[in-house]
Structure 1
Amino acid sequence: MHAPNPFLAGAGAGAMPGDLDAMHVDASEIAMPFPTYAMAWTAAHDRPGLLALGSFVSANSAPGGAWTSRAPSRSGAAGSAASGSTAQAAPDRLCIVEHDGGARIASVAEVALPYPATRVQWAPAAAASTRVLATAGDYLRLWRLHDHGDPAAPDGDGGPHLSMEALLANQAKADLVAPLTGFDWNAAAPHLVVTCSIDTTCTVWDVNSSQAKTQLIAHDRDVFDVGFAPGTADIFASVGADGSVRLFDLRALEHSTIIYEHPQSAPLLRLAWNRQDPNYLAVLAYESHTITVLDVRRPSLAVAELAGHTTCVNAAHWLPHNSGYLVSAGDDGQVLVWDVAQPTRPPAAPSSGGGTAPAPTYAPVLSHVPHPMGAEVENLAVSPVTDWVAVSCDMQVKLLRL
């Protein structure tokens, strides 16, 4: 059963054209010395090209290597840009690169991580400093990127580098470290970060004091993702191995609201809020080829099912400046752009005998295969400032401008 799609009335329609011929993809490429999973673009308007990358080192990847990059122009002519060599051969790393919007991609700084980062995120634009970022793995760690000549840097006038600002750990469970599967930084209240863990809990942190404000049992099983509702300091959603999407309000934590349960109780791995219209969020189920779009005002029913990938979907994000558009990536090697406001077949009216009307169907308005061999696309990151999208596939990170 599907809920009516209010996008069909025109709400949320973005400025992006629906005609494939009117859309294009510019691409820049970074050849990485390791597999990359966690990625995030900065929210800083003064340096919008800063991109954080977290390695995901496997037994078959080399611990060290050099940065290389090339950026085809719109006409397809190849350009190149030199970049710095890696600073240390650590098991896993957090790396910062900077893209100038054209052909140049430079390595800025990097630091060792004890475990692969499950997520990385820069501080929101409203934060006191947009040079701070966080990583989740064993713990939540806060880092600061020091620019060249930063007097506050530990080494004075040294070059750009990362230093750890804080390690946030629940002291009551310091001897039992449950891996963090994700986190989200509150854009409306930048002192708040919520994390989720395989121990069934979500924890809300005050990053100014490095203290946990509250911890709650959020699901019956592992929690895989969490995110604050846009424009609020109080409401967040989570998804987990029990197949449910749950909504929490920090002002009334004695109960939560289950707004969706997967029909086959499949684990739900990821969620993505629509930053332009906080009534909508997208969720991904384990090994699913489709993306489920939900409306929090209509619990239990899906607004849309986006079926275009031929294998499992790994990531989905709404485009920040076009509220009806969503970009996804999957094991089939495709990056797809969807217009949720324009189904290819609108829902039919219910029959006179009653029953449920057929759901609308959707087709992607843009399809791109970033790797020439069709390698799986493990993750993607959408810039909140520019029109660039980063995708990770094989040993490469592709930067796509839609």
Structure 2
Amino acid sequence: MSRPPPAMLQTPGFAHYALAWSPFHTTRLAVASSANYGLVGNGRLHLVSVSPGPGGVPALGLDKYYETQDGLYDVAWSEVHENQLVTASGDGSIRLWDVMLNDLPIRAWQEHTREVFSVDWSNVQKDLFVSSSWDGNVKLWSPERPRSITTLHAHHSCVYQALFSPHQPDIIATCSTDGTMKLFDLRAPSYAPTLPSTNFSTPLAAAALTVPASTTEVLTLDWNKYRPFVLASAGVDKGVKVWDCRMAKTGGEGVGGVCEVALAGHEYAVRKVQWSPHRPDVLASASYDMTCRVWTTTPPSGRSHLLHIHDPHTEFVVGCAWSLYEEGVLASCSWDCRVNVFRV
């Protein structure tokens, strides 16, 4: 039985970096894109709608887009306002948009000193979002405040992603070029000196747990939606790893985490990993090998962990996102300027 072709949307001239489904609207997607593959030039935020099409194949439509002065690397929908979302930009800025307005963002922040590579909105403490940057810092924000609430000097190198735990509002996980995955507890006492000091190398908060996840760069991570303190990580070493981080110690520096499963098969670096919101044992990965793959961590005896390979893309696949409302529906985005939506 042949699979139906994916729904596809082309955005010529703008290579994609990330996409996200709306938590309020079942058919609304946001896509963060950059001209010239994000190396130089402007960016675009695309708003995409998914509608039923002939033969049961959905159709994708471009509702509107917003131009930005620099490339966009990530996007996250607000968890409190159905029409608002934040973007991460190559010029170090973060912008808050309202899709009911046509031109300018409703708020902008400029605190990071290098590219902002990820943004994530807390789905537990819904008035907060977090950003991570190539400047090594992670910042906590409220859309109502003109400045960040907290800065974590998370790593001494690029922080590719920072994500709130979907189970505990005060836990943030990060991954970095230094090969580690770290968990931060925002309730822990800070390591800032009590006396005035110019020692900027002193972190504002120490990691509760450091997981040596790879000998190379860790480009992406995600929390399991059903199993607290279980995360997946992936990166330059081409593998997807599942970690049990229940060894975390609140308020102290720990090193640990047990690798439960290692999923091999990608031929190049893995740029994005995301757990299914519907199944505790299913996750998707997107790779520079131009595929998006779906895995199970609990295959039947003698069967492969690999469930599906999606390979219509003709360039790096850098983003994937599961539909929050419809089980088995996955969106992927690529440097080939295409968004695909398909059923696994």
Taking structure 1 as the reference length, what is the TM-score of the superposition?
A: 0.72
Q: How does 1:251-290 map to 2 (within 5 A)?
A: 251-254=187-190, 255-264=206-215, 266-286=216-236, 288-290=237-239
Q: Deviations over 1:224-260 (max 9, x none)?
A: 1100011322110111121111111111143322341
* Residues 244 and 258, structure 1, Cα contact 8 Å, conserved in 2: no
> Which residue matches 1:209?
145
Q: What is the rounded CA distance, in whole Å, between the counterparts of 1:311 and 1:396 in structure 2?
A: 20
Inter-CA distance 169–60: structure 2 relative to 1 (3 Å threshold): closer
RCO higher in structure (CA 8 A, sep ≥6): 1
Q: How does 1:2-401 map to 2 (within 5 A)?
A: 27-34=6-13, 35-44=15-24, 47-58=25-36, 91-102=42-53, 103-124=58-79, 127=80, 129-137=81-89, 138-146=92-100, 161=102, 163-170=104-111, 177-254=113-190, 255-264=206-215, 266-286=216-236, 288-298=237-247, 299-342=256-299, 362-371=304-313, 374-387=314-327, 388-393=329-334, 394-401=336-343
2:178 maps to amino acid: D
Structure 1 counterpart SS, 2:294: strand
Q: Deviations over 1:313-358 (max 9, x none)?
A: 222111111111001122222222111122655xxxxxxxxxxxxx
What is the count of residue pairs matched by the alignment?
A: 312
Q: How much does 1:130 deviate? A: 1.3
Q: Deviations over 1:272-327 (max 9, x none)?
A: 111222321111122x2210111111533211100121222222111111111001
* Residues 96 and 107, structure 2, Cα contact 8 Å, conserved in 1: yes
Q: Which runs of 4+ in 1 moved over 6 A?
A: none
Q: What is the rounded CA distance, in whole Å, between the counterparts of 2:87 and 2:7 in structure 1?
A: 25
1:384 maps to amino acid: L
Q: What is the rounded CA distance, in whole Å, between the counterparts of 1:263 and 1:169 in structure 2?
A: 31
* Residues 344 and 363, structure 1, Cα contact 8 Å, conserved in 2: no
Sequence identity percentage: 26
Q: Deviations over 1:46-77 (max 9, x none)?
A: x311111122211899x9xxxxxxxxxxxxxx
Q: How much does 1:194 deviate? A: 1.2
Q: What is the rounded CA distance, in whole Å, between the counterparts of 1:43 and 1:214 in structure 2?
A: 25
Q: What is the rounded CA distance, in whole Å, between the counterparts of 2:290 and 2:214 in structure 1?
A: 27
* Residues 96 and 108, structure 1, Cα contact 8 Å, conserved in 2: yes
* Residues 238 and 271, structure 1, Cα contact 8 Å, conserved in 2: yes
In structure 1, stretches of 5+ residues that fail to align are 1-20, 64-89, 147-152, 154-160, 171-175, 346-360
1:252 maps to amino acid: A
1:341 maps to amino acid: T
Q: What is the rounded CA distance, in whole Å, between the counterparts of 1:101 and 1:185 in structure 2?
A: 29
Inter-CA distance 194–60: structure 2 relative to 1 (3 Å threshold): closer
Q: How much does 1:162 deviate? A: 5.4
Q: Deviations over 1:201-230 (max 9, x none)?
A: 111112222431111211122211100011
* Residues 119 and 130, structure 2, Cα contact 8 Å, conserved in 1: yes
Task: Specify the structure having the higher radius of gyration (Cα).
Answer: 1
* Residues 49 and 101, structure 1, Cα contact 8 Å, conserved in 2: no
Q: What is the rounded CA distance, in whole Å, between the counterparts of 1:36 and 1:259 in structure 2?
A: 31
Q: What is the rounded CA distance, in whole Å, between the counterparts of 1:117 and 1:100 in structure 2?
A: 26
The alignment yields a C-alpha RMSD, in angstroms, of 2.5
Inter-CA distance 52–30: structure 2 relative to 1 (3 Å threshold): same
1:118 maps to amino acid: Y
In structure 2, stretches of 5+ residues that fail to align are 191-205, 248-255
Taking structure 2 as the reference length, what is the TM-score of the superposition?
A: 0.83
Q: What is the rounded CA distance, in whole Å, between the counterparts of 1:226 and 1:163 in structure 2?
A: 26
Q: How much does 1:197 deviate? A: 1.4
Q: Deviations over 1:151-176 (max 9, x none)?
A: xx5xxxxxxx3541211233xxxxx7
> Which residue matches 1:158?
none
